[in-house]
Amino acid sequence: MFKGISKDAAYYALIGIFLIATIYLLSPALFRQSPFPSGGPTVITGSNNFSQVNLTVLFSSNCKAFCDSSKVEASLKDVFVNLNVKRLDVETTQGKALANQANVSLVPAYVFDSSVTQSPAFPRFGPGLVQFGGRYVLDTAEASSGYLFTNEPSSTPAITQFVASFDLNSILFQNKTFEVLKRFNNSINFTVRYIVVVQNNSFHSVNGKIELIEDVIQLCAVQSGSPNALNAIACRSREIRQCLNESTASGFCAQFWQTCIGGWGIDTNETENCVRTQNQTMLFVEADSTADNKVTAVPTTIIGNQYRLVGQATEFELFSNLCAIYPSLPGCVIRISDD
């Protein structure tokens, strides 16, 4: 088979290679690497080499949705190994004091003391932390959803969704949201907002100037007052998604907006005039709303002015969380017949 090597030797060599590969695949702890944030060298060490790291998990006893911290805690345990966890309610005097010191307004929040700097994992994990007065707060995508405990609840059930009109993740979750909203018989006020940033006195969006124009087209459809405005936006989102799947040119996908806007009974001439005359004003409003709500990722959904979801969720997860927040809404109450 191989020159100078017996068949038996080759056979046992192959078995050895197979066993080594199997051990590698089945023993990830031997090749431990942080799930937060990416980059840096792989850590190959045992727990005895890790100093104790003290973590305080801030939570709120008033939280009804997006409250679970177990997955993030498990990931932090994988990173720091020797992790001492304490939980503190921000509705208490001590919890409020720590939240104020760490500049935290959303929980669950993950606050380390200075012991984190002594961990061998700190050099590669440090970029995921923000320092506040001797404390270090986890600032990653995994910790960006939760309960805005300092906010007052909205007077009525409400969802505000921040999207980018040419972002596929935004489009996918927006369409899921529309499907879920149908189950509540229009009992939830829905507002669509577009992520706009002002830099050097000009507007910027995730996918450039063409996306800003599309944002304003959809805002003008809403401003028209048509009861079918959200249907037109949903239609437009489906068209953009299909177009982007077939072409990477957003300019090409922007050309056919009249089909959905006009198709749902909204005057396309008025919409075009709105875009030409009000685009700057509308974009300023969106930029202010983006900044005021500290939105830094798409999609971002804020429910009742108190609950923030960054990224996507399944329709079932969104429905379940809405019912947790608003348990008396039509669609959440299960009525049992007396018969």
Residue 13 is assigned to a structural domain of this protein:
no
What does the pLDDT read at residue 71?
95
Per the domain annotation, does 23 fall within a domain?
A: no
What CATH number should be reported for the domain holding residue 89? Answer: 3.40.30
Distance of CA 328 to the CA centre of its chain: 26
8 Å CB contact between 322 and 185: no
Domain boundary among 117, 148, 179: 148
What are residue 83's phi and psi, to 5 degrees?
A: -110, 125
The residue type at 162: F
Residue span of the structural domain in which 83 resides: 47-148
Give pLDDT, residue 25: 37
Do both 207 and 63 map to the same domain? no
Together in a domain, 201 and 117:
no
Strand partners, 111: 56, 137
Q: Which long-range contacts (CB under 8 A, 24 or more apart) does 266-273 make?
A: 266/221, 266/224, 266/226, 266/228, 266/229, 266/232, 267/224, 270/220, 270/224, 271/217, 271/220, 271/221, 271/224
Q: Are residues 221 and 79 in the same domain?
A: no
Q: 184 and 283 share a domain?
A: yes
Q: What is the pLDDT of residues 286-339, one digit of tens each?
A: 999 999 999 999 999 999 999 999 999 999 999 999 999 999 998 897 655 555
Q: Which pLDDT value is given to residue 244?
A: 81
Structural domain includes residue 313: yes
Last residue of a domain, one of 122, 148, 174: 148
Q: Which pLDDT value is given to residue 7?
A: 43
Residues 174 and 305 occupy one common structural domain: yes
What are the φ/ψ torsions at residue 156 (nearest 5 degrees)?
Answer: -135, 160
pLDDT of residue 282: 97
Choose among 192, 286, 183: nearest CA to 233.
Answer: 192
Give the pTM: 0.81
Dihedral (CA of 169, 275, 234, 240) sign: negative
168 and 275 in a single domain? The answer is: yes
pLDDT < 70 stretches in the chain = 1-49, 247-251, 334-339
Determine the pLDDT at residue 9. Answer: 41
Length of the chain in terms of residues written: 339
Question: 316 lies in a domain?
Answer: yes
Please give the pLDDT value at position 339. Answer: 52
133-157 residue pLDDT tens: 889 999 998 999 999 999 999 999 9
Residue 115 burial (CB count, 10 A): 18
The answer as to whether 179 is a domain residue is yes
Domain match, 116 and 220 both: no
Q: At what angle do helices 209-223 and 268-292 cross, to 10 degrees?
A: 110
Q: Is-contact 234 174, C-beta < 8 A?
A: yes
Asked if the structure places residue 197 within a domain, the reply is yes
In this structure, the answer to whether residues 59 and 167 fall within a common structural domain is: no
Amino acid at 200: N
Please report whether residue 136 resides in a domain: yes
- Is residue 339 in a domain? no
Which pLDDT belongs to residue 37?
55
Last residue of a domain, one of 119, 148, 177: 148
* Whether residue 320 sits in one domain with residue 191: yes
pLDDT value of position 252:
73
Q: Do 187 and 297 belong together in one domain?
A: yes
Residues 284 and 135 in one domain: no
| Same-domain status, 291 and 214 | yes
Dihedral sign (CA 234, 203, 158, 262): negative
Total domain count, the chain:
2
